[in-house]
Amino acid sequence: MHDVYIYDAIRAPRAKAKADGGLSDLTPHALLQQLYAALLNRADIQGDQLHEFVNEVILGCVTQQGEQAGNVAKSSLLYAGLPYQIAGTTVTRYCSSGLDAINLAALKIAGGQAGGMIAGGVEMMSRHPMLSDGARIFSDPKFAIACQILMMGSGADLIASLNNITRAQADHIAYTSQQRAEHARVSGYNKSIIAIENPVKKITVSEDECIRANTTEASLGEMKPAFADLGAKGVDAYQLAAKPQLSKIDHIHTAGNSPAMADCAALVLLGNKALGEVLGKKPRAKIIAAAVIDDDPLQVLGGCISATEKLLHDNNLTTSDIDLFELHEAFAATMVKAQSVLNIPSDKLNVNGGVIALGHPMGATGSIMMGVLIDELERRNCKRGVVATSGAAGSGTALLVERV
């Protein structure tokens, strides 16, 4: 088995998934083209020579519809004019896709199938909104229940109900996320961001757009529950039948303590030791271990907790052995439960904010989080970190990395 190193991790700014968002005029291919160019420039690789260093690109993308359909990993390589010899694979494991792309790339390097890989993700939600692919599991309620697949907000409210998590606790998580994200933005902590040109709006997008710095816990407390109506249409009854210990579902999640939709893409350059020697480039981190496991599908979003538990257990580690945790802030209740179950101190968890504040471009989020973690490990001169993501149906993936 070969050691697997991360040589670089970059991303676009996370833009509002709206027509006035800074990236909304760009196709996924046009956005990725700028990121490929930036990654090659940083690694000092000529585009027409990329196939000599990289065997394959693996990208996560959840809504593989329209411009994002047809294997966007491969088609974006060709669109960018990169060598045809490089393979391209697009994967979906719901919102865990971007981290699973990194894990799959790492497995190919570890097994000797590849010496260098690019992994990451893309999701342009202003152009392809969540559920626009018309998947039956999200459009046919009877079929969804047969598959035990519920909407994410319903799962988050179930997590809150099962763990006695209050609205005040959820709003505090959201407020903290906003404050930390804004602090990181103004302090210049986001070193992995690449400025993106939007020729249609004639602007350069260089900062995350979704942060709502003026949010207060009082303003969050005024928001109405977002998923109570869905519960009244039969979801609550189904959840209560499956969880007889509950007498009711507490609908504590609102637009304010739920993830914001966003446009973004991210790329991570991975390779064996020989890749760094050839490029004359020192690795930024080493992938030590990974864990993939699913949680209760009715709770939908607990996968990041279960995967982190498994990762720590399998490697004989405790929370105190980890310097920083970057866990998918998939609705506020998930984070309250994560802190309780994993005993993670607040000053180790999502220290620069999470997707409630920063936005959640589904297929790209996991790969973005990897860059955020490595940036912060370097800034703090820390050694070891965990990235973990949740996706629909209880999906969970966690990676353990160490700075080199």
User: What is the average pLDDT across 40-53?
Assistant: 97
- DSSP SS3 for 9: strand
Q: What is the separation of C-alpha 138 from the centre of its chain, rounded to a whole number of angstroms?
A: 21
Question: pLDDT for 293-321, tens place per residue?
Answer: 999 999 999 999 999 999 999 999 999 99
User: What is the average pLDDT across 387-396?
Assistant: 97
Under the banding of pLDDT at 50, 70 and 90, the label for residue 129 is: very high
User: What is the average pLDDT across 11-39?
Assistant: 98
User: What is the average pLDDT across 48-73?
Assistant: 98
Under the banding of pLDDT at 50, 70 and 90, the label for residue 110 is: very high
User: What is the average pLDDT across 325-340?
Assistant: 97
Is 95 among the catalytic positions? Answer: yes
pTM, full prediction:
0.97
User: What is the average pLDDT across 76-101?
Assistant: 98
pLDDT of residue 342: 97
Contacts 24+ apart (CB under 8 A), 279-284: 279/7, 279/43, 279/44, 279/45, 279/53, 280/44, 281/7, 281/8, 281/43, 281/44, 282/404, 283/5, 283/6, 283/7, 283/404, 284/5, 284/6, 284/7, 284/8, 284/9, 284/374, 284/378, 284/403, 284/404
Under the banding of pLDDT at 50, 70 and 90, the label for residue 376 is: very high
User: What is the average pLDDT across 364-368?
Assistant: 98
Q: Could you give the percent of the chain with pLDDT greater than 90?
A: 99
Report the amino acid identity of residue 402: E
Under the banding of pLDDT at 50, 70 and 90, the label for residue 189 is: very high
Q: Which of 29, 128, 253, 360 is catalytic?
A: 360
Question: pLDDT for 19-31, tens place per residue?
Answer: 999 999 999 999 9
Is 253 among the catalytic positions? Answer: no
Closest alpha carbon to 388 in 304, 293, 292: 304
User: What is the average pLDDT across 132-136?
Assistant: 94
Q: Are 327 and 338 in contact (CB under 8 A)?
A: yes
Say how far apart CA 388 and CA 376 lie, in whole Å.
16
pLDDT of residue 199: 98
Report the amino acid identity of residue 168: A
Give φ, ψ of 402 to 5 degrees.
Answer: -130, 140
Q: Which of 95, 210, 264, 304 is catalytic?
A: 95
What mean pLDDT is reported for the chain? 97
Tokens coding 266: 């991210």
The alpha carbon torsion through 71, 76, 78, 84 (nearest 10 deg) reads -60
